[in-house]
Every structure is written in structure tokens, then in C-alpha cells.
Amino acid sequence: MKVPLVDLKRQYVQIQSEIATAIQQVITDTAFVLGKYTEQFEVEFARYCQVQHCVGLNSGSDGLLLAYIACGVKAGDEVITVAHTFFATTEPLAHLGATPVFVDIDPTTYLIDPEKIEAAITPKTKVIVPVHLYGQMADMTNIMAIARKYNLKVIEDCAQAHGATHQGQKAGTFGDIGIYSFYPGKNLGAYGDAGCIVTNNSEYAQLVRKLRDHGRSSKYEYDIAGYSSRMDGLQAAILSTKLKYLEKWNKARRKAAAHYNELLPEEIKKPVETKNNRHVYHLYVIEVANRNRVLSYLTENGVEAGIHYPIPLHLQPPYSASVMSHTSLPRTEAAAKNILSLPLFPEITDEELQYIVRQVKTAIK
Ligand SMILES: Cc1ncc(COP(=O)(O)O)c(C=O)c1O
């Protein structure tokens, strides 16, 4: 048997005719960049997140860049976040002359440990960036309390958390701005690059709208220097079509994760859904000893597993030569050595899950 880490085709075939109609409409209306399909998706996604504003963008990465700019991050500022994330979380800071300050994770959830944040705050700190990694939200109750105490802004990286909640409230709606990625493999994925920001702050929404479109105030008038970070009409129409299925797909992910939890042996560290959280299992991440050996065995036996992520950000070249070389993140580094993402997508079958578990059991012997 061969099981891919993610199979986007299985999902596409279920909605093929709806997608074809949606694409055809955009082309017929020649609404290619921004336009009515992007506006419609923005309204629908804001409603889904129960937030006032959604601004459609070309990617989650530009969402982060524009969110940092909107929050006033400038040269010399510090941003507190984790090194256990995708590079895009901190990448824009290099362009702004700001510095990421990495704190360690909670080893149970792999998410930012709120208890590590206060010690990392300095007079230069401007923003805290919790990353809701793997589909589970960070402890926003405690993070927001710290942010309020020190008057810091909060940007939530929700790239992997479409539909995740904390205390019943959706990702991206606790802090000042939330950013989402709609990269194809995400829980809500476009058929190309796309992203957005969500916020309850009208000024941030207005500024990001302007920044995504060259800083324009009218067709040939520019208030500020901006970027070309707009959402395409085609991606928006595809996302509107797929958004209707997001809850069903998230439920299927949760069911597959519960099945893994049941079948995998005791000695394997499995994902933990924290009390008051709803995990949407963008990834199903386990920890095993001899991870690289287990990964090779799975590969040889048709199971495509992954590592998210093998090298923490503080050890990557843009940071390793700087002040970050002093950073000690033992839990982050330990996780990077042992984690393994098993295949999980809404359409995965029980037979596939059983096959994967059998291979894992043999591999860890
Ligand atoms: C945690 C995290 N942040 C940011 C991004 C960047 O999003 P995008 O690929 O849409 O630019 C991603 C996804 O790739 C991600 O997983």
C-alpha cells in the first residue's frame, strides 16, 4: 500500500463540478485581481471566523509582513515568538530591521510556552506572535493577559489553524491581527498561493487593504509605498466554494486523529488536545525514539511521513550568526529531533490508518 502525506486530488474530485463552475464565472466576469469574488470571500471568511474584517491577500507570508507593518514594527524592535515554526513567521522581520526573540515551547503541545514570555520582554519588545501550529491554538488566555500587562501587540499566525478554537473562539480573533495561509495543503487551501488577515480593528484592516494594493487611495493616487499582495479572483472563488466544506473536512480530520490515538501504542507520544481547545489536526505529529530510522522504514514501506520542522529557526543561517546563537531552546531542539508527521487528510481511509499504524509498530521495534 502507498499512503501520501496529503492527497489533494481525492478532495478535488468530490467538488470538481462546483470548482469548474466557480472558475468559469470568474473568467466570464474577468474579475481576476481583487474584485467581487475576493470581496465575497472576505465577507464569508470574516463571518466564519466571527470577526469584523478579513482582507484577502496573495499569501500568508505577505499577511505576516503587512501585519508587522500595520502594528508599527520598525528597525530595532523585538518580536517574541517561537523557533518551532515555518520560516515565514519571522522572515519579514529581516526586511524591517527587527529582531525575533525566540522562546521555548511547551513540550506537550509544541506551542509557545506563555511562562517563558515575560522573561523575554525588553523595552524594545513590540509584538508577541503565537503560532497555532499543527491545528491547535496556543494558550491565548494567558498570552493576552501578558500582552495587556506590558502593552504589547499580538499577531496570531493561524496558517495551520482554520477552524481551531480556544474557549470556543476562533483563531486570529484574540490578538490585534490574525494571519491565515490558504496554501494548497492547508485545511482550507486554494489552488495556488493565497492568504488573508483578519482583525476587529478597522484601522488595521484599512491600512492592510491599502498596503496590499500599492498604497493606493484611488487608481493613480498613492498615499504610501505599498506592495502587490492582492488576492486573485480565481483563488477567492475556489476558496468560497471550499469554505462550505471546511467544517465537514475538519471533523473528518478529528475523526482520523482519534482513530490514530486509539490504534497507536502507548510508548508513542501522541498529539494532546488541550482543555478548552478544538484541535483541527492540520498535521498529526507523534514523537518516536530513532526518528530518522522510523522515517526511513515508513518511506521504504510506502508511508510518506514528514518532519515539521527539522531545523528550528534559531539554528538557520539568517539567525545562527547573530544574537540568536546564544539562545538556548532545549525543548524546541529536542522536539525537532524526535517529531514525525503521519499522513492525515480528511479523505484518509480506515484501512490506510490501520496500515500506517502497523508499519509504525514494526518500525519502532
Ligand atoms: C506557520 C506558518 N506560517 C506562515 C506560513 C506562510 O504562508 P504562505 O505559504 O501562504 O505564504 C505557513 C505556510 O506555509 C505556515 O505554516
Q: Using the mean position of ligand 1's atoms as its centre, give its distance from the Cα of residue 364 in Å.
A: 31
pLDDT at 319: 85
Atom of ligand 1 minimally distant from the CA of 61 = 11
Q: Residues 136, 274: contact at Cβ < 8 Å?
A: yes
Interatomic CA distance for residues 346 and 275, integer angstroms? 23
CATH architecture of the domain 246-363 equals: Alpha-Beta Complex (3.90)
Best of 181, 212, 229, 283 to mutate for ligand 1, by most ligand atoms within 8 A of CB?
A: 181
Residues in the chain: 365
Interatomic CA distance for residues 281 and 37, integer angstroms? 28
pLDDT at 363: 97
Which of 153, 186, 210, 242 does the annotation list as catalytic?
186
Backbone angles phi, psi at 270, to 5 degrees: -105, 165
Interatomic CA distance for residues 18 and 33, integer angstroms? 21
Question: What sign does the dihedral 131-134-137-139 (CA atoms) show?
Answer: negative
* In the chain, where the domains are located: 8-104+111-243, 246-363
Q: Using the mean position of ligand 1's atoms as its centre, give its distance from the Cα of residue 361 in Å.
A: 32
One-letter-per-residue 3-state SS of the chain: CCECCCCHHHHHHHHHHHHHHHHHHHHHHCCCECHHHHHHHHHHHHHHHCCCEEEEECCHHHHHHHHHHHCCCCCCCEEEEECCCCHHHCHHHHHHCCEEEEECECCCCCCECHHHHHHHCCCCEEEECCECHHHCCCCHHHHHHHHHHHCCEEEEECCCCCCCEECCEECCCCCCEEEEECCCCCCCCCCCCCEEEEECCHHHHHHHHHHCECCEEECCEECCCCCECECEHHHHHHHHHHHCCHHHHHHHHHHHHHHHHHHCCCCCECCCCCCCEECCCCCEEEECCCHHHHHHHHHHCCECCECCCCCCHHHCHHHHCCHHHHCCCHHHHHHHHHEEEECCCCCCCHHHHHHHHHHHHHHCC
Stated pTM of the model: 0.98
Interatomic CA distance for residues 64 and 312, integer angstroms? 19
Q: Residues 6, 284: contact at Cβ < 8 Å?
A: no
Q: Residues 180, 196: contact at Cβ < 8 Å?
A: yes
* Residue of minimum CA distance from atom 8 in ligand 1: 60
Q: Using the mean position of ligand 1's atoms as its centre, give its distance from the Cα of residue 158 in Å.
A: 9
**pLDDT tens-digit profile, the chain (365 residues):** 999 999 999 999 999 999 999 999 999 999 999 999 999 999 999 999 999 999 999 999 999 999 999 999 999 999 999 999 999 999 999 999 999 999 999 999 999 999 999 999 999 999 999 999 999 999 999 999 999 999 999 999 999 999 999 999 999 999 999 999 999 999 999 999 999 999 999 999 999 999 999 999 999 999 999 999 999 999 999 999 999 999 999 999 999 999 999 999 999 999 999 999 999 999 999 999 999 999 999 999 999 999 999 999 999 988 876 655 567 899 999 999 999 999 999 999 999 999 999 999 999 99
Interatomic CA distance for residues 48 and 27, integer angstroms? 26
Q: Is 186 a catalytic residue?
A: yes
**CATH C-level class of 8-104+111-243:** alpha beta
- Say which amino acid occupies 215: G
